[in-house]
Structure 1
């Protein structure tokens, strides 16, 4: 009888755990609803991305934040930069997708030494929490979160300092892969895998002798946004401190990493600061951090627009098409494949300097590549990365063997079908809940727009019927259409362009 009761208890326990693991049903009413009559297949891809991302919401015991966003690889492991990028599409549906909350699994484990059943694969992954937190804040206007983040827990400042203190071979209190980051006088040593660009040709055969341009740029980016967020909550001391940190790193980037001859930011050798000339989108982290002046930015724009570099029909390959290691046939992971996260980052970098035409064109071409792959390649899904020469997923080269990259990777590959579609194709490139503003680059004809866009307390539909605009809103806000302000009132409003 005791054994029978024990079995019953175990079965009830298993049943209860399964019940607890059930998620709220996928509800499209909580998600923005795009309309794009010109290419409705991009709307289909949009919903596929949300569906796949929803399937990668995980619940697990023994972690600080559950549910959390999973990167679509291993259930017992999380990656810093995957999760950071996922926040940038979760912002559009925060009631369904725990994007910003998922960052707590890093903050608490790394900075507060809390135990977790999740493994943080690379503690020295790219550190751009502050940029992501700022972007998310634009959608929420939640100052209480910023106060907790910066004043009370000081997570962003502490992570910045912690990243600065890392040494190769350090062992932390949780399971992780090897750390290679090391701060030097003029930048940081790092590794391809730790940087996220696993088999990148950067550094050629001297990869462990170079100072990585993106590591320095990402810390500059963090300092810039920590300062800005601190200003928002009137923490003047923190704002001033990180302005100084930003200025130091900006000067280093322009003094040592900028090649005037080529007009590009390169990795450098630590020994003599000579340039290691492998052009990749990693250099656009410098642009995102607002380091270049206008003349330098125009040079970077030229590379972004050049079909033999990062532009063309299949934009943002992860190494220049002119590079000797560029793999045009298969992509071979980070030797030329098109990865959505670096494409998204570089797109936002171009926008910082007002280069919307090229940013939007490249984004549109990337979405066409993903959509055509979705329609013609089986299985019909969204992939980890894409072939740089045809509508197919990339293949990883292992000697004489080939391996197709991972399917259903939403994960960060949802960034293009969701965020780039809304921001760069439909044109709603900037939303700010604090100022109650939506900026719309309306450069297309026909019927298109977005319904159920949410920011702060505002819920709005914005639709274009050629030159006639119809807006429905539950609250007042400012809609800028091609830089012209329109005061939107509660209810239905019509605008004739």
Structure 2
């Protein structure tokens, strides 16, 4: 294979393969450069209709761009934010494309974004094995966290931030002073900072971050968990829990905050039609809430792919692979069926947000610009990342030299020519006269774990070159 190309996927539903291929073609339109007066150097990933490049887009896009075989780099957009760090540690959530200056709003005057950089960097490391980069970003992220602490951390150990900082701008959470999502994201951030420090073998730093993580975890469990409702809630200024159930209550899964009993109670609600078990997973507000809107109305019931992605990644933390996969497949069918009204999957758009109870893009009162078409920073998480990781079921770590294939049962599927640094790998399963066979091709040795859920799990060293294995013989 001489020409650099995107990895190919194989799946029994050709529509999934088509939309995966199309997404890569569309991503080309999201590579922008700064204006004449702008100091934004080089190319970066942003929505073509936006006036600014956004922190959330930089972070979420890195999760699918790592699969582009380096045709599109995942790190330059993140670096654009790091390079604008102010002396006090501030990194703002948006920078104007024309001027390169921060864009802030009156309901978020500090331009605070979701501090998920460490999560993105940890994922990048496992897909690129670039240790040098971690050395460079840790001091930047550390200063950034000190800035957040200095402005938003209160004596109770939690963060009091404007609702606009959570990105869920019109969600029915007006009284929230300490949002459950932002506080949990701070816990996720220190958890991954600790993991990044471990990669550099810096035990002392890793321990400091772990300590911060446990202190946040304790506070979230004691103040935000509602034992009657079995759910994590925002709290108001008086530290009273607010009863509204929103998808923000699922971030704790990703932070591994609930114990198994608590996790079970919130995971059950994902399949319960009274809560988040809508036909299209997952509405931003529980269906039984008085503020739930079946037209979506922004964050009052719409399905946003980046939040569905977050919930699915949270399910993985609790080894709920089967459930994660079912939800990912169902979500993708709705994404496909919403592309065009006449059921033609070959024309139409991917959307920023979807209806919760039937197919189609969400709507918002008096806002015809919502949802944005081809909003790939969110949608490509579904059509590329969830497709590779949760539907086909491949999890790859370059530094560990491991590929895990986690599937509920054998189907004709796989990935071809996925570049892992300088190693191209192909893993495909199909049925031959001799039973189920997995064909592999690779340039270097790696360790392959096949996990057919509830049936068999086996790890084998895969030599370079071509080989195949019969599943029945494992």
Same fold at TM > 0.5: yes
Q: In 2, Cα distance between the equivalents of 1:299 and 1:120? A: 41
Preserved CA contact (<8 Å) 1:479 1:487: yes
Query: Quick check: which one's helix share is greater?
Result: 1
Larger Rg: 1
Matches within 5 A, 1:463-478: 463-466=428-431, 467-478=436-447
Q: Deviations over 1:95-128 (max 9, x none)?
A: 2223222111211213458998334445311111
Preserved CA contact (<8 Å) 1:89 1:414: yes
Offset, 1:410:
1.0
Offset, 1:130:
0.3
Q: Deviations over 1:353-396 (max 9, x none)?
A: 11112111111110000011125369601111111122111111
Matches within 5 A, 1:29-428: 29-36=4-11, 38-60=12-34, 62-63=38-39, 65-74=41-50, 76-93=51-68, 95-111=70-86, 117-121=99-103, 123-150=111-138, 154-166=139-151, 183=154, 185-203=156-174, 206-207=175-176, 210-271=177-238, 273-328=239-294, 330-376=295-341, 380-398=348-366, 404-428=370-394
- For structure 2, which runs of at least 5 residues remain unmatched after alignment? 105-110, 452-456
Q: Secondary structure at the match of 2:439?
A: strand
TM-score, normalising length: structure 2: 0.88
Offset, 1:441:
1.3
Q: Deviations over 1:436-495 (max 9, x none)?
A: 111111334442111012223321010010421101111111111103112211111111
Q: Secondary structure at the match of 1:269?
A: coil
Preserved CA contact (<8 Å) 1:79 1:121: no
Preserved CA contact (<8 Å) 2:4 2:69: no
Preserved CA contact (<8 Å) 1:79 1:120: no
User: Which of the residues 461, 465, 469 maps onto 1:491?
Assistant: 465
Q: In 2, Cα distance between the equivalents of 1:93 and 1:418? A: 10
Q: Secondary structure at the match of 1:275?
A: coil
Instruction: Assess, with a 3 A threshold, how the Cα gap between structure 1 residues 435 and 403 changes in structure 2: closer, same or farther.
Output: closer
Preserved CA contact (<8 Å) 2:4 2:71: no
Q: Secondary structure at the match of 2:159?
A: strand
User: Which of the residues 451, 462, 471 maps onto 2:416?
Assistant: 451
Preserved CA contact (<8 Å) 1:227 1:243: yes
Q: In 2, Cα distance between the equivalents of 1:157 and 1:404? A: 36
Offset, 1:335:
0.6
Q: In 1, Cα distance between the equivalents of 2:273 and 2:101? A: 40
Q: In 1, Cα distance between the equivalents of 2:249 and 2:159? A: 14
Preserved CA contact (<8 Å) 2:40 2:100: no
Q: Secondary structure at the match of 1:463?
A: strand
Q: CA RMSD in A?
A: 2.2
Q: Secondary structure at the match of 1:439?
A: strand
Preserved CA contact (<8 Å) 2:16 2:383: yes
Preserved CA contact (<8 Å) 2:304 2:378: no
Q: In 2, Cα distance between the equivalents of 1:218 and 1:31? A: 32
Q: Secondary structure at the match of 1:418?
A: helix
Preserved CA contact (<8 Å) 2:188 2:254: yes
Which 4+ residue blocks in structure 1 deviate beyond 4 angstroms? 112-116, 181-184, 401-404
TM-score, normalising length: structure 1: 0.84
Q: Deviations over 1:253-294 (max 9, x none)?
A: 1110111111111001221x2211111221221111111111
